[in-house]
Amino acid sequence: MTEKMNIGLLGFGTVGTGVLQIVRDHQDKLVHQVGCPIEISKILVNDLDKDRGISIEPGMLTLEADDILEDPAIDVVIEVMGGTGDARAYIRKALENGKHVVTANKDVMAEHGSELLTLANETGTDLYYEASVAGGIPILRTLVEGLASDRITKMMGIVNGTTNYILTKMTKEGRLYEEVLQEAKALGYAEADPTADVEGIDAARKISILGTLGFSMNLDLDDVEVTGMTKVTSEDIQYADQLGYTMKLIGIANRCEDKVEVSVEPTLMPNEHPLSSVDDEFNAVYVYGEAVGETMYYGAGAGKFPTATSIVSDLVAVLRNKRLGVNGQSLVIPQFDKKLKTDEEIFSKYFMRIHAKDLPGTFANLTAIFGECDISLEKILQVPLNEGRLAEIIVVTHGVSRKNYKEVLQKLNETDAVVEVKSNYRVEGVMKR
Amino acid sequence: MTEKMNIGLLGFGTVGTGVLQIVRDHQDKLVHQVGCPIEISKILVNDLDKDRGISIEPGMLTLEADDILEDPAIDVVIEVMGGTGDARAYIRKALENGKHVVTANKDVMAEHGSELLTLANETGTDLYYEASVAGGIPILRTLVEGLASDRITKMMGIVNGTTNYILTKMTKEGRLYEEVLQEAKALGYAEADPTADVEGIDAARKISILGTLGFSMNLDLDDVEVTGMTKVTSEDIQYADQLGYTMKLIGIANRCEDKVEVSVEPTLMPNEHPLSSVDDEFNAVYVYGEAVGETMYYGAGAGKFPTATSIVSDLVAVLRNKRLGVNGQSLVIPQFDKKLKTDEEIFSKYFMRIHAKDLPGTFANLTAIFGECDISLEKILQVPLNEGRLAEIIVVTHGVSRKNYKEVLQKLNETDAVVEVKSNYRVEGVMKR
């Protein structure tokens, strides 16, 4: 039996305590897998006295990051602080000092991943970050290893548990956004400030990480077209249901030839699509590969133990590499230069809910506008509103370019007969088999 | 750029041609990933002249296995012949000659996996077999790597596409087993002799492989309690539906403390369970880990390109190992000795459909028998049959031991009031969150 491996932990919140607990509880399995005992020997905290409900040996906690980053006895650093300021600096320092790093930090990886992975490569260290996307689902190694031989053309992910919880409750219980959001906060599924979740920023970070790996192309957060889910109404969800769709906040990454598009937006998923039945706080990532076809990976997207499992599995990988003497070899430099599709090259179906004056000729008028923009319609639903003074018209288009779609939205809004385009969403199809 | 890697292919049927095609079509990506060109240089066939619809360079095909197994220029052998006779011998010889092996052969791995993996370990070679379970789903590396740090307690898999296709059609279209089986044969989803599929043998091989990896314990095909799906009737499926369940052929591997049970059987899955909506020829593996909770992996279970993708991804892994000089290091010897649960230790709910004489006191009589066997009932449904001379009684039990379940079946069959226990199935629950 080799000497034990010493691990430093940066941050000791929910996930950090989960990591400590798994390393302790599953020590037997870990020893069996990596060939030596693993010990979390030092933990960076910002309060030495806080009770975290877990036993701590004296001297384990420190307020000084350098007690970990500069300690030659520490082999691997696990970063679970979150944020991008200190976390990025500490990860850099750890890598520069020859320590391997495992992080759960999607913010850092979405914004500085390329820089940090290059640094790890230069210093011969490992930087693993499975837990940064879809906590308990080992999706990153699936993209890098399991589907290594295939050409991935599409990824769609429900990668934010908070918004999926809210949308599920709105859909299944017919409840209002604000009400469910409050409940989600009370249950700990939503943070006090839920902006990053409900505005789609969190999902955008994750889809940019997925896109980078799946398409072998450096994609940044800025490349993601983001629409949050705060404007989704119960009416939208009900109409979607009538038409056979379920509303989900979907991170989408599409590749066609050498160009890609990446977005996060509320999307109508056909009820036959496997993503449509991913409910509550669960996450799932759907991957389409040219050869493998449709695959989907489902599990808890966050939470203490699911996230900690991914982190400790990464730790196992790092320590196996260490045993074999092959740390710092896992970086695959992106194969392709980034090329984003233009609005002319992005095609999708769309759902629009339009309030129009209920007058003779209105519908013909609208149809003409769609025709001018070269858009044909797949589904149309019209219901009277306000005692017949208004008509609510719901359409689902056939596939159109985003350019034509933006054009028709503008024209509709400029038309006298149209009072308002109440809402509009992307619509996904089902893969033909 | 390093010299090219030469690969030998044993077998050139559907999957073999898929492998050749992927290696050719995705050559750029493969070169980028492994750092050198990959070439399938020799292929073992049993007919040199057959047209396989793919271009072959002269001299590529051979009738002699040794042209591959004894060729020092060949680095890796891909075995896609199937069967256990020659395949096992060829894999052994390849490993003995220092060649790495990638196989899609579940029969060989289920029956001789332990022997072959040990041999690979002794000869410092790699033996990868991702494609042997659930073709396009990278489930084996998920168990070994992604969930490396967790303690897996339950796996359930829809791991046979043929039977899932048949059950889906019976369920959704109300059709008869025989009719759908014929259709499946015509479509190529079922083989001319479908015995291994419909009797659950194929699924049993796969669940024994999953159990071995997930529980780190050598499980053989003989350890799997197998019940096929040939006796499932439309009536059973309809009653299941009325009670909120979907009938699936499920491979189950359960662990409790240090003991396991492994079975394949037609099982009633609650409609809320993610496996219940895995339809048609698709496969899925559901894994429950103590820390990670519920996860599920979904995709094509068979077919030319999904299977070939898994094989070529394994090939990439082997060639990366070769570049790093770490072949033959991936075997993790099972951590635990095999301990199977006894019938007293296996608990489940069960569905029973009973035909009884419709006389006063019959139901009380049955209730008494369940009581004697210490079985309480969760759901009861009774309908008259044959103009009231018979009663069809459907019960779903609470959790009972398999011992008590077998006992009640025997007692029911010996009771005068019971004409016949028409069918009986295992019933799964939904994990409490």
Domain of B16: which CATH number? 3.40.50.720
Task: Give chain B positions within 8 Å (CB) of A306.
Answer: 291-293
Distance CA B147, CA B134 (A): 18
A289 and A224 both lie in a single domain: yes
Spans of chain A, pLDDT less than 70: 1-2, 432-433
pLDDT for B421 equals 96
A182 and A237 both lie in a single domain: yes
Q: Which residue segment(s) compose the domain that A200 sits in?
A: 139-300
B179 and B114 both lie in a single domain: no
B26 and B121 both lie in a single domain: yes
Residue A342 is assigned to a structural domain of this protein: no
Distance CA B208, CA B219 (A): 6
B59 and B197 both lie in a single domain: no
Task: Give chain B positions within 8 Å (CB) of A147.
Answer: 138, 309, 313
Q: Mind listing the pLDDT tens digit for each residue in B397-428? A: 999 999 999 999 999 999 999 999 999 999 99
Say whether A192 sits in a helix, a strand or coil. coil
Task: Give chain B positions within 8 Å (CB) of A308.
Answer: 291
Complete DSSP assignment for B292-354: TEEEEEEEE-SSHHHHHHHHHHHHHHHHHHHHHT-TT------SB---BPPTTT-EEEEEEEE
Q: Which site among A286, A292, A304, A327 would you substitute to test the B interface, given the most B Cβ atoms closer than 10 Å to its Cβ?
A: A292
Task: Give chain B positions within 8 Å (CB) of A324.
Answer: 324, 326, 329
Apex CA B102: angle with CA B98 and CA B105, to 5°? 125
Residue of B nearest to A141 (CA): B146
Taking the CA of residue B142 and the nearest CA in chain A, the distance in Å comes to 7
Q: Mind listing the pLDDT tens digit for each residue in B9-35? A: 999 999 999 999 999 999 999 999 898
* 8 Å CB contact of A297 and B296: yes
Q: Mind listing the pLDDT tens digit for each residue in B50-87? A: 999 999 988 999 999 999 999 999 999 999 999 999 99
Taking the CA of residue A311 and the nearest CA in chain B, the distance in Å comes to 9
Taking the CA of residue A60 and the nearest CA in chain B, the distance in Å comes to 22
Residue of B nearest to A33 (CA): B332
Task: Give chain A positions within 8 Å (CB) of B324.
Answer: 324, 326, 329
Q: What is the mean pLDDT of residues B358-377?
A: 92
Q: What is the mean pLDDT of chain B?
A: 94
Q: Which two tokens stand for residue A1?
A: 């039996």
- Residue identified by tokens 């492998």 is B19
Domain of B161: which CATH number? 3.30.360.10
Distance CA B363, CA B393 (A): 9
DSSP label of B148: T
Task: Give chain B positions within 8 Å (CB) of A146.
Answer: 130, 138, 141-142, 310, 313
The shortest CB-CB distance from B291 to any of A142, A290, A305 is to A305
Q: For the stretch B391-423, what's the b/e string if a residue is b when 16 or more beta carbons lie within 10 angstroms of its beta carbon?
A: bbbbbbbeebbbbbbebbbebbeebebbbebbb
Residue B331 is assigned to a structural domain of this protein: no
Distance CA A27, CA A39 (A): 9
Residue B334 is assigned to a structural domain of this protein: no
Distance CA A198, CA A181 (A): 9
Taking the CA of residue B422 and the nearest CA in chain A, the distance in Å comes to 33
Residue of A nearest to B324 (CA): A326
Distance CA B196, CA B160 (A): 10
* 8 Å CB contact of B136 and A296: no
* 8 Å CB contact of B295 and A137: yes
Identity of residue B27: Q
* 8 Å CB contact of A306 and B315: no
Q: Which two tokens stand for residue A272?
A: 């036959």
Residue of A nearest to B329 (CA): A324
Task: Give chain A positions within 8 Å (CB) of B26.
Answer: 149-151, 291
Q: What are phi and psi of A191, to 5 degrees?
A: -80, 165
Asked if pLDDT for residue B432 goes beyond 70, the answer is: no
> Which of B99, B169, B206, B341 does the annotation list as catalytic?
B206
pLDDT band of B433, cuts 50, 70, 90: low
Complete DSSP assignment for B30-65: HHHHHSS-EEEEEEE-S-SS---SS---TT-EES-T
pLDDT band of B389, cuts 50, 70, 90: confident
Separation in Å, CA A133 to CA A85, A109, A210, A282, A430: 20, 10, 8, 13, 25
The residues pairing with B190 across neighbouring beta strands, listed in sequence order, are none
B110 and B156 both lie in a single domain: no
The shortest CB-CB distance from B313 to any of A130, A146, A280 is to A146
Q: How many CA atoms lie within 13 A of A315 on its CB side?
A: 34
Q: Which of B289, B261, B286 is nearest to B272 (CA)?
A: B286
The shortest CB-CB distance from B292 to any of A32, A136, A147 is to A136
* Paired sense of beta strands B152-158 and B245-256, if any: antiparallel
Say whether A38 sits in a helix, a strand or coil. strand
The shortest CB-CB distance from A294 to any of B299, B329, B433 is to B299
pLDDT for B2 equals 63
Query: Looking at the 3D structure of chain B, how many domains does it have?
Result: 3
* 8 Å CB contact of A292 and B312: no
The shortest CB-CB distance from A26 to any of B149, B277, B298 is to B149
Contact B281, B290 (CB under 8 A): no
Structural domain ending residue among the three candidates B300, B335, B356: B300
Is A31 labelled a binding residue? Answer: no
B217 and B294 both lie in a single domain: yes
Distance CA B141, CA B129 (A): 10
Size of interface A-B (CB pairs under 8 A): 183
Apex CA B338: angle with CA B336 and CA B344, to 5°? 125
B145 and B125 both lie in a single domain: no
Task: Give chain B positions within 8 Å (CB) of A274.
Answer: 277, 298
Total Cβ atoms within 10 A of residue A261: 22
CA diameter of chain A: 86
Residue A332 is assigned to a structural domain of this protein: no
pLDDT for B385 equals 86
The residues pairing with A287 across neighbouring beta strands, listed in sequence order, are A155, A295
Residue B315 is assigned to a structural domain of this protein: yes
- What 3 state SS string does A375-395 have? CCEEEEEEEEEHHHCEEEEEE
Domain of B408: which CATH number? 3.30.70.260
* 8 Å CB contact of B313 and A147: yes
Contact B290, B151 (CB under 8 A): yes
The shortest CB-CB distance from A298 to any of B274, B300, B335 is to B274
The shortest CB-CB distance from B335 to any of A29, A150, A282 is to A29
pLDDT for A432 equals 66
A115 and A183 both lie in a single domain: no
B24: which residues sit within 8 A by CB, 6+ positions away? none
Residue A340 is assigned to a structural domain of this protein: no
> Which of A42, A154, A206, A341 does the annotation list as catalytic?
A206
B119 and B260 both lie in a single domain: no
- Residue identified by tokens 């980034």 is A338
Element (H, E) at B16: helix B14-25
B265 and B183 both lie in a single domain: yes
Which residues of B make up each annotated binding site for NADPH?
Answer: 106
* 8 Å CB contact of A149 and B291: no
Q: Mind listing the pLDDT tens digit for each residue in A385-429? A: 877 789 999 999 999 999 999 999 999 999 999 999 999 999 999
pLDDT for A2 equals 64
B196 and B224 both lie in a single domain: yes
B46: which residues sit within 8 A by CB, 6+ positions away? B63
Task: Give chain B positions within 8 Å (CB) of A28.
Answer: 335
Q: Which two tokens stand for residue A327?
A: 């740390």
Q: Would residue B406 show up in a list of annotated catalytic residues for this protein? A: no
Q: Which of A52, A290, A263 is nearest to B304 (CA)?
A: A290
Distance CA A181, CA A204 (A): 20
Residue B432 is assigned to a structural domain of this protein: no
Q: Which site among B133, B149, B430 would you substitute to test the A interface, given the most A Cβ atoms closer than 10 Å to its Cβ?
A: B149
* 8 Å CB contact of B309 and A291: yes
Residue B340 is assigned to a structural domain of this protein: no
Contact A403, A211 (CB under 8 A): no
**Burial of residue B237, with CB atoms counted within 10 A of its CB: 0-12 exposed, 13-18 middle, 19 or more buried:** buried
Say whether B406 sits in a helix, a strand or coil. helix
Q: Which site among A137, A149, A286, A320 would you substitute to test the B interface, given the most B Cβ atoms closer than 10 Å to its Cβ?
A: A149
Distance CA B308, CA B25 (A): 12
Q: Could you give the residue ranges of the DSSP H alpha helices within B97-249?
A: 106-123, 139-141, 161-173, 177-187, 195-198, 201-215, 234-242
